[in-house]
Chain A
Amino acid sequence: MKGSAIRRVLPGFGLSLGYTIFYLSVIVLIPLSGVFIKTAGMGWSDFWHTIWNTRVIAAYKISFLTALSAAGINAVFGLLIAWVLVRYKFPGKSIVDSLVDLPFALPTAVAGIALTTIYAQNGLIGSKLEPLGIKVAFTPLGITIALVFIGLPFVVRTVQPILQDLEKDTEEAAVMLGAHRWRTFSRIILPEIAPALLTGFALAFARGIGEYGSVVFISGNMPLRTEITPLLIMTKLEQFDYAGATAIALVMLVFSFIALLIINVLQSRISKRTTSA
């Protein structure tokens, strides 16, 4: 079945592949290459000064750290939610399962204004935290919460199918050999789902780095303190500094490509594991 001669019995190879490559080039590849061409015309020292100064480095740091902590929080709670959905029975489970997808389906700007309202000083939760000295809106903590919202489905939906397919036998064996539940979890189950969990984490992290809509409202956009990298690009565009915007975009693109590469490697490992099992 694997020989190409047999497969080409079906019609439309040339047309479908040709159209795919054409459309991909016109919509994605050629426009994206513009970023590289534009930056190439910039000159090295100009480029370096644009992508490496105090304000930009602060933005990288904020983007990186908030996305990292949000992905970490999602890894813990996402795993917990996937676990509860796969293994336990409780009323309304089907609705809970649907709600997990909401951040995928809800426009980011809507999430942004809703979260800002909740966590602002006079908001439902913000007003409770204020007396404790915790400020959420217009701080890095607020950015993190927005990114937790955005990233949650990535972890749940990558871990869930793996958890579902987990064989009961190994767990049975572990119990028979005298392992407690926690020990079974940490020694048997966790290593089994680790690649999926890591993939979910990486997906949430990659999404968080580039996220704009949900963050821009809650962050307050103060340079050096709560200005994320995508916002910096936006600011430069508004000042008609196209070269500057593009240079920073290039840094982000390179970072995203590396993240995508790592995610693909992780995902192919998972599929190998599930097919060999």
Chain B
Amino acid sequence: MAGAITAHLSEEASVRPKHINESGFVRFVLIGIALLFLTLMVVLPLVTVFYEGLKKGWDVYVAALTDSDAKSALKLTLIVSLIAIPLNTVFGIMAAWAITKFKFRGRNFLITLIDLPFAVSPVISGLIYVLLFGAQGFLGPWLDEHGIQIVFALPGIVLATIFVTFPFVARELIPLMDAQGVQEEEAAVSLGAKGFKLFWHVTLPNIKWGLLYGIILCNARAMGEFGAVSVISGHIRGETNTLPLHIEILYNEYQFSASFAVASLLVMLALITLVAKKLIEWRGSKWQSK
């Protein structure tokens, strides 16, 4: 589903001859409706987070962010992302390589399977690991015997996050590498390039922007995941609370200002993600036109 996000606005397309364009008035109204809708649905929530977070003053805002539970939530969120993203990146590259550089039976079916986590409700994404590793789960008794804790602990949170962000890198790379074909790699092979060197020197330069974008998307989702992590974390304060869970707890305790203050961190992450996307699009199109 995330693969649908790469659209570029070309300038010439928006300059149209009069007879196949709407009248100035209609254009004005349509642009007005679009902007109003986006303001109400997207901009207003964004502004609300900062407004509510800062409503009780800068001190309350800073206090909420430097609170020890908030700090440990931030730390946990960073650790989880640092484990989940590299794993999914390696998988994404492997999967895209197999799918786009070779023809084999069941190729389309494999792509559908990679998409599966997008179609699964986040709550179910957490539930499946509870079923597998929880106290009543299939492997629960065995894990218990060996003193390994997965559910209500870091490994469970990491697993759920990996599941939820599973397709992002692969989904970004597959269409890109498909469009690029295999000619360059084949030429390199005939010149004697081998294995990982081939990928590093020939393929990677061609896909680096797409790869980077996939990683950034994966990161945004990993840091912000709520439902899946909520099921498996057990909400232990200071221990298994990620930032989104910390926001929920503060909100449910009516500490609205603190809750929105922490939320503003994640809003900034989202805004950085959007800016990075624009930059990558811009660099990517510049690079392509060279």
Contact = CB atoms under 8 A, between A and B. Distances in A.
Interface in B21-60: 21-22, 26-27, 30-31, 33-35, 37-38, 40-46, 48-49, 52
B191 interface: no
B4 A154 contact: yes
Interface stretch (A45-53, A54-62, A132-140, A206-214): A206-214
Contacts of A104: 2, 5, 217, 220
A99 B42 contact: yes
A12 B97 contact: yes
Interface string B103-136: 1100000101111111111111001111110101
A259 B220 CA distance: 25
Given A81-B38, A89-B14, A98 B115 contact: no
Interface residues of B, number: 110
A276 interface: no
Contacts, number: 316
Interface string B164-178: 001000000000000
Contacts of B217: 104-105
A117 to B, nearest CB: 6
A237 interface: yes
A7 B227 contact: no
Given A117-B52, A234-B123, A260-B116, A102 B42 contact: yes
B138 interface: yes
Interface in A103-132: 103-111, 113-115, 117-118, 124-125
A171 B13 CA distance: 14
B103 A109 contact: no
A93 B266 contact: no
Interface in A240-270: 240, 242, 245-246, 249, 252-253, 256-257, 259-261, 264
Contact of A230 (B14, B21, B130, B227): B227
A31 B119 CA distance: 15
B277 A98 contact: yes
Given A93-B9, A118-B48, A7 B278 contact: no
Contacts of A201: none
B260 interface: yes
Interface of B: 1-2, 4-5, 7, 9-10, 13-16, 19-22, 26-27, 30-31, 33-35, 37-38, 40-46, 48-49, 52, 91, 94-95, 97-99, 101-104, 110, 112-124, 127-132, 134, 136-138, 159, 162-163, 166, 182, 185-186, 189-190, 194-195, 198-199, 217, 220, 223-227, 230-231, 243-245, 247-248, 251, 256, 259-260, 263, 266-267, 269-271, 273-275, 277-278
Given A11-B195, A104-B217, A212-B121, 18 more contacts: A4-B104, A8-B102, A10-B198, A11-B189, A21-B110, A32-B128, A38-B131, A81-B37, A89-B14, A99-B274, A108-B224, A113-B263, A164-B7, A184-B20, A213-B226, A245-B127, A249-B121, A249-B123
Interface of A: 1-2, 4, 7-13, 15-17, 19-21, 23-24, 27-32, 34-35, 37-38, 77, 80-81, 83-90, 93-94, 96-111, 113-115, 117-118, 124-125, 145, 148-149, 152-154, 157-158, 160-161, 164, 168, 171-172, 175, 181, 184, 203, 206-207, 209-213, 217, 229-231, 233-234, 237, 240, 242, 245-246, 249, 252-253, 256-257, 259-261, 264
4 A-B pairs with the lowest CB-CB distances in the bound complex, closest first: A107-B224, A210-B121, A213-B226, A212-B227
